[in-house]
Amino acid sequence: MIDGYKRLMNLEEPLPSKKAKGFFTDTSLCIGCKACEVACKQWNQLPADGFAITGNSYDNTGHLGATTWRHVQFIEQAKANESRQEQRWLMMSDVCKHCANAACLEACPTGALVRTEFDTVYVQQDICNGCGFCVPACPFGVIDRVPKESTFEVGTAHKCTLCYDRLKDDMTPACAKSCPTASIQFGDVEELQHRARQRLGELKARGESTARLYGMPEGKEAVEVGPLHAFFLLLDKPQAYNLPEVPRLPRKTMAERYGWSAAVGIGFAMVAALVFRGGRR
pLDDT digits (tens, 9 = 90+) for 95-146: 999 999 999 999 999 999 999 999 999 999 999 999 999 999 999 999 999 8
Do both 268 and 173 map to the same domain? no
Of 78-92, 219-233, 249-263, the one with minimum mean pLDDT is 249-263
Do both 265 and 130 map to the same domain? no
Cβ-based neighbours of 94, under 8 Å, separated by 6 or more: 64, 70, 71, 72, 73, 241, 242
Number of domains in the chain: 2
Quote the pLDDT of residue 259: 64
Do both 73 and 138 map to the same domain? yes
Do both 133 and 255 map to the same domain? no
Do both 180 and 274 map to the same domain? no
CB–CB of 160/95 below 8 Å? yes
Element (H, E) at 23: strand 21-26
Of 15-19, 96-100, 146-150, 183-187, the one with minimum mean pLDDT is 146-150
- The listed range with the strongest mean pLDDT (23-27, 125-129, 153-157) is 23-27
Do both 241 and 253 map to the same domain? no
Do both 278 and 241 map to the same domain? no
What does pTM read for this prediction? 0.81
Residue type, 258: Y
Mean of the per-residue pLDDT values of the chain: 85
Do both 266 and 213 map to the same domain? no
Do both 56 and 135 map to the same domain? yes
Do both 260 and 235 map to the same domain? no
Domain of 265, in residue numbers: 249-281
CATH number of the domain within which 52 lies: 3.30.70.20
Output the CA–CA distances (angstroms, integers) from residue 183 to 20, 31, 34, 72, 180, in the order listed: 20, 9, 12, 12, 8
Do both 278 and 189 map to the same domain? no
Residue 6 pLDDT > 90: no
Among 163, 102, 175, residue whose Cα is nearest residue 134: 102
Do both 258 and 124 map to the same domain? no
